[in-house]
Structure 1
Amino acid sequence: MHNLYNVSSVIELKGFDLPPEAVLPAFLFATLSYMIILLCNCVLILVITLNKSLHQPVYLILLNLPINDLVGSSAFFIQVIKELLLDSRTIQHAACVTQAFFIHVYAAGTIYILTAMAYDRYIAICCPLKYNSIMTNAHVLKIITGVWVATLLMMGLLFLLLLRLPRCRSQLTHSYCDHPSLLTLVCADTTANNVYGLLTVAVTQLVANGTILYTYLQILIACFRSKRSDTKAKALQTCATHLVVFLLLECLGLFTIISHRIKNISPQLRRFIGTSTLIFPPTLNPIVYGLRTKEIRDKLVSILKSKIIPLR
């Protein structure tokens, strides 16, 4: 069916519509942001993998978060940096689909990983005596496998439904590739795609929000019942910080999804929110969920002291 349309294999992106004098600052900002994301997430991965004392359920689940952040940020920033460096707004259709797929894997994966982490904290705080018997290595492996299998299957089917449709346009109205934008290039009935896309969003939101709201509510109740003020304060601070980051991701992600279905919304605002979703969470996640954790911070300080101080 694709041969029925004389359509180019090259996709034209809308770009960021930057004036010439803003291209270099934008390139430096994008490069610096990507380097910071790479550094923070790679440090977190190395600290967890190289220290056997951190090979515990909570950190093994946490390990998947920086890996997922690297997938999403790499899919986004590599294309953006190339676009700014070469002053090119074109991308091969196959590369565009690949970028969109990994960006959607990142988005769904982040939600499911944070849900798994909330479940782990719920067991640890609300059922501390049963924690070791419930969160065994086998159970943690099932959770991690379930997160990735569910994410890849949902996103794989979403893009299989997209690729079966004929394409007759080559101009993308977005600055990077995602599923809703690629769907605008199609010249066929997209009802099945829209229904499945909304269904995946609804299921993801129901599972994630339901689990996280329930677990953190139970954690807060357990904290208020605790007689130890230090434990209460630490748990409340941790829950509040995690909830703020989760809500930030939720607001940015949902607005991005909804904005594609509102015709009168500003394209600049849509691009800004969509870009923010791929910049701020991968930057904040390793700091909030990793470096602010005492055990990880202590291990990182220990590594830095052992490697840097002897060189002086």
Structure 2
Amino acid sequence: MNNFSYNSPILVIEGIDVPHRLIYPLFALLLIIYLIILTTNIGVMLLIMMNRSLQQPMYLLFFSLSFNDVLGNTVLLPRLMLDLVSTDRSISYSWCVSQAFFSHTYGTSCHTVMVIMAFDRYVAICHPLRYTSIMSPAMVAKLTVSAWSSSMVLTSVPLGLAVRLTRCRSVILNAFCDNASLFKLSCEDVSINNICGLILSIGVFVLSMGSVAFTYFRILVSCVSRKNKELNRKALQTCATHLVLYMIMLWSGFLVIISHRLQAHVRYRIMAAILFLIVPANMNPIIYAMQTKELKTRIVQILHSKVTQLP
């Protein structure tokens, strides 16, 4: 594709390069995955909203996680599917920047919300008698607001640096807009953008991994010092669920960042980005709902009532 004029208000997204025979099967697959993500995550959110017994710190954090998954996938997947079947892959620069902002906010919020959830498990397991006083509704609200506001600030800094650049290209070498794709549109020296984006990304990863590692170390020490095998089993089971999902999110996000910096083939960047979107978003509501007694009980009750109402 040829470049447009400098600072063109219209960009072109390269999209996913797949054989023509696979376009519609892939579109159908992505559509099914997206509908599953919406159904499961919105279902969990509605369940928590409509049941006062579920409006507790742990479930409110589930709500934030599900909301984040719906936000991230809604910003990216519908546009990705549209570009897959359309010959017109043009997008306005302003919408491209907005898509990049929300996609990066989603990615950063995945880390910040997961860190808060690890802290919640730490308090519940290591300080069970003080749990209600520490994880009060006010504290959960403050932590949630901090998670989202810090994600938006961390996203705004590199995007602000990218927007200031003069553009000499108009093709987004990716399946969607993100910070790296935006600053690569410029023919100026983008070293500051690259370094800033890398520092912020590494900072988020290090802070996230350090916080989760510290809380899990404290949980492990607490479990080893206790003699109650049943309580330890339940605690470790809950932590294992959180840790598996966290590691999937961590490594898929890590691959996206590395693929940009190492100039990996666009196909691998897209695969890593799609995995980062759909894998945690599909697994989060299913695994957390099945591992949480109250949520599982409510879901079983709803399904049972629906079955009994059938003629």
| Same fold? TM cut 0.5 | yes
- The whole-number CA distance in structure 1 between the counterparts of 2:206 and 2:15 is 34
Within a 5 Å distance, the mapping from 1:1-150 to structure 2 comes to: 6-150=6-150
8 Å CA contact 1:13–1:172 kept in 2: the answer is yes
Residue type of the partner of 1:256? V
Unaligned runs of 5+ in 1: none
**Would you say 1:296 and 2:276 are equivalent positions?**
no
Residue type of the partner of 1:75? V
Q: How many residue pairs end up in the alignment?
A: 307
TM-superposed CA distance for 1:308, in Å, is: 4.2
1:63-120 Cα offsets, whole Å, 9 max, x none, are: 1001000111011111012112334332222222221111111100010000000001
Which stretch of the first structure deviates more once superposed, 265-274 or 13-22? 265-274
- The whole-number CA distance in structure 1 between the counterparts of 2:80 and 2:87 is 10
Which stretch of the first structure deviates more once superposed, 156-165 or 26-35? 156-165
8 Å CA contact 2:238–2:291 kept in 1: the answer is no
8 Å CA contact 2:42–2:66 kept in 1: the answer is yes
TM-superposed CA distance for 1:311, in Å, is: 4.1
In structure 2, do the counterparts of structure 1 residues 83 and 236 end up closer, same or farther at CA, with 3 Å as the change threshold? same
User: Which residue matches 1:281?
Assistant: 280
1:150-171 Cα offsets, whole Å, 9 max, x none, are: 1111112222222121111101
8 Å CA contact 1:57–1:140 kept in 2: the answer is yes
8 Å CA contact 1:242–1:288 kept in 2: the answer is no
Unaligned runs of 5+ in 2: none
CA RMSD of aligned residues (A): 1.6
Which stretch of the first structure deviates more once superposed, 43-52 or 188-197? 188-197
TM-superposed CA distance for 1:189, in Å, is: 2.9
TM-superposed CA distance for 1:37, in Å, is: 0.5
SS of residue matched to 1:15: coil
Which stretch of the first structure deviates more once superposed, 35-44 or 192-201? 192-201
Residue type of the partner of 2:158? L
1:121-167 Cα offsets, whole Å, 9 max, x none, are: 10110011111111111111111111111111111222222212111
Residue type of the partner of 1:188? E
Which stretch of the first structure deviates more once superposed, 156-165 or 186-195? 186-195
TM-superposed CA distance for 1:268, in Å, is: 2.1
- The whole-number CA distance in structure 1 between the counterparts of 2:220 and 2:54 is 25
- The whole-number CA distance in structure 1 between the counterparts of 2:87 and 2:289 is 36
8 Å CA contact 1:6–1:168 kept in 2: the answer is yes
1:236-259 Cα offsets, whole Å, 9 max, x none, are: 222122211111111111111011
1:185-219 Cα offsets, whole Å, 9 max, x none, are: 02323233223212221321222111100111111
- The whole-number CA distance in structure 1 between the counterparts of 2:308 and 2:100 is 44
User: Which residue matches 2:204?
Assistant: 204
Residue type of the partner of 2:101? F
- The whole-number CA distance in structure 1 between the counterparts of 2:136 and 2:234 is 25
8 Å CA contact 1:255–1:273 kept in 2: the answer is yes
TM-superposed CA distance for 1:18, in Å, is: 1.3
8 Å CA contact 1:72–1:102 kept in 2: the answer is yes
SS of residue matched to 1:63: helix
1:237-290 Cα offsets, whole Å, 9 max, x none, are: 221222111111111111110111113x33322221122111111111111233
- The whole-number CA distance in structure 2 between the counterparts of 1:139 and 1:6 is 49
- The whole-number CA distance in structure 2 between the counterparts of 1:106 and 1:28 is 24
- The whole-number CA distance in structure 1 between the counterparts of 2:82 and 2:95 is 13
8 Å CA contact 1:99–1:177 kept in 2: the answer is yes
> Sequence identity of aligned pairs in percent?
36
SS of residue matched to 1:189: coil
Residue type of the partner of 1:277? F
- The whole-number CA distance in structure 2 between the counterparts of 1:207 and 1:27 is 37
In structure 2, do the counterparts of structure 1 residues 87 and 32 end up closer, same or farther at CA, with 3 Å as the change threshold? farther
- The whole-number CA distance in structure 1 between the counterparts of 2:106 and 2:6 is 33
8 Å CA contact 2:12–2:172 kept in 1: the answer is yes
8 Å CA contact 1:259–1:270 kept in 2: the answer is yes
Residue type of the partner of 2:47? V
